[in-house]
Structure formats: C-alpha cells, structure tokens
Amino acid sequence: MTLGNIPNEQPVEQPTSVDVPADASVVPTNQAPAAVELTTVDYNALLENQTPNVALANPHVRLVVQWILGIGGILVPTLAAIDSAAPAFDISGWINPAAQGLLALTAVYGLAVTQRNIPRA
C-alpha cells in the first residue's frame, strides 16, 4: 500500500515525553554544546494540570459524560427518524421525552462544565 509518494509508510508512535535541554534558548543551532543537562517533559501531566475546570476536575469523568451525551445525541434523532418512517411501531411517546431530557442535560453540561474550560481572552 502506498500513501501519496511514500511507499509502505508505517505509522510512527508519537512520544509522550521528550528530553530537552534545561536552557535550550542559549544553545546555538549550528554546534553541539559540550555538556547539556536534559529535562524530561511529561506532556500528559502538563495537559492534565492546565485544565482550569473547577466544576468537574476529573478528565476521565468529563470524557465519559461527553461520550454518553454524544451517543444519545446521535441515537435519539436516529430513532426518531426511523419511527417517523416506519408506521409498524410508534415510539414517539418515548423519543420526545428522551430528546427533551437529552437537550436539557447537554445544555447544563455545556454551561456548567465545558464553558468553564474555554480560555478567557
């Protein structure tokens, strides 16, 4: 299999941490320094610590809630479309309250959790 002009391109695993010089700003780019102390930067910890969320601090809980709301947001309208196209069964008594509840939960989650993670200008 070829991808563009590169034959047999294999996916490359992206590092989660990188060793960088402790004072990289003073290292010339055209010559190697004699001795450099390396500092490990853990990107996962850096990203978790930069989340300013105070309403729901655990990123795993936020992820699960967002997945549930997202799947519900896809499933409920799909079932409503199937219900309107198939006269053999009627689930509108179930779909309408589910859609209203899902809309309310998504709005509350968006205002209480997601909105607080948007950086202030």
Residue 1 belongs to some domain of the structure? no
- As a whole number of angstroms, the distance between CA 85 and CA 75 comes to 15
Identify the domain containing residue 89 by its residue range: 59-117
pTM of the entire predicted model: 0.52
Per-residue confidence (pLDDT) for residue 79, from 0 to 100 = 93
**In total, how many domains does the chain have?**
2
User: Is 108 inside a domain boundary?
Assistant: yes
pLDDT band at 1 (very low <50, low <70, confident <90, very high): very low
In-domain check, residue 29: yes
What is the band of 15 on the pLDDT scale with cuts at 50, 70, 90?
low
pLDDT in tens, 60-117: 888 899 999 999 999 999 999 999 998 887 888 899 999 999 999 999 999 888 887 7
On whether residue 97 sits in a domain, the answer given is: yes
Whether the pLDDT of residue 2 is over 50: the answer is no
For residues 94 and 70, membership in a common domain is answered with yes
CB 69 within 8 A of CB 105: yes
Strand ranges inside 1-121, DSSP E: 2-3, 6-7, 17-21, 38-42
Task: Read off the pLDDT of residues 38-48 as tens digits, 9 standing for 90 and up.
Answer: 677 766 665 65
